[in-house]
Structure 1
Amino acid sequence: MVDWLTMTIQVASLAMAGWCLISTFRDRPMLVPHLIGMGVLWLLVLGQAVATVVAMVGGERPEETAMFVSYLATVVLLPPACAVWGFMERSKWGPAVIAFACLILPVLFVRLEQLWSPVV
């Protein structure tokens, strides 16, 4: 895994969560700029996933490969799934769905890092 990319994803995800929470508290629906933000976040996640798969094909593997791959699939699918759900919800709760997903994403990346390089 690329450490600086993981950190970038975590910071971008938390910034997106803050932005969506502000929209929720202001009673605003999810708009196209929110979707663009989620798209950028998803591209960062896809970049990390591709880099990780390339490293795994190159021979680097975590001890718990099946668990790692399941977490990796989750982080890849979470942003677009929640973006669609949030966009379909035309009330103030649309951005709340996105904020919730963006608060979960950094935690999932911490777990991916733990699985990738376990503490001995």
Structure 2
Amino acid sequence: MILWLTLVGVGLAVLAGLLCVVLGLAGRRPSDLSVGSLALVELYLVVQVVTSIVAPLTGNPPTGSLLEFWVYLVSAVLVPPAAVFWALLERSRWSTVIMGVAALAVAVMVWRMYAIWTIQVA
């Protein structure tokens, strides 16, 4: 993984998470703003999938468990669509908060993926 790309992803996910939590606690239901913020997080995760496929081919292999990394990445890719699906089914202020918590969970997962890729020694 690339450090600057990881920091962009963590920052984007944290901003989206805080935005959704604040909007939800303010009583707003899911809207284009909250759903769009999670769409940006999902777009970042797709870029991360492509980067994770290309990186080992260019001489940047992971130092940790490749299986553990891919389980985190696939799980992270599934979290935002699941949260948006749930939010669009329920359409309450709490579903907006749930989208925020999902985005914050993705931020933690992206940072953990970076740790698996770079810090651990097999």
TM-score between the two structures when normalised by the length of structure 1: 0.89
Question: 1:57: Cα distance to partner?
Answer: 4.4
**Aligned residue pair count:** 120
* C-alpha contact 2:24 2:93 (8 A) present in aligned 1: yes
**Cα deviations by residue, 1:38-78 (Å, 9 ceiling, x for unpaired):** 11111111101110111234562443111111011111111
Identity among equivalent pairs (%): 26
Match of 2:32 in 1: 32
**Aligned pair 1:18/2:23, yes or no?**
no
Q: Using the alignment, how far apart are the partners of 2:114 and 2:62 within structure 1?
A: 12
Question: 1:29: Cα distance to partner?
Answer: 0.7
Alignment of structure 1 residues 64-75 onto 2, 5 Å: 64-75=65-76
TM-score between the two structures when normalised by the length of structure 2: 0.87
Q: Using the alignment, how far apart are the partners of 1:56 and 1:111 within structure 2?
A: 18
* C-alpha contact 1:38 1:79 (8 A) present in aligned 2: yes
The code of the aligned residue for 1:106 comes to A
The code of the aligned residue for 2:74 comes to A
* C-alpha contact 2:64 2:120 (8 A) present in aligned 1: no
Match of 1:116 in 2: 117
Q: Using the alignment, how far apart are the partners of 2:91 and 2:47 within structure 1?
A: 30
Match of 2:48 in 1: 48
Question: 1:96: Cα distance to partner?
Answer: 1.0
Structure 1: tracts of 5 or more residues without a match: none
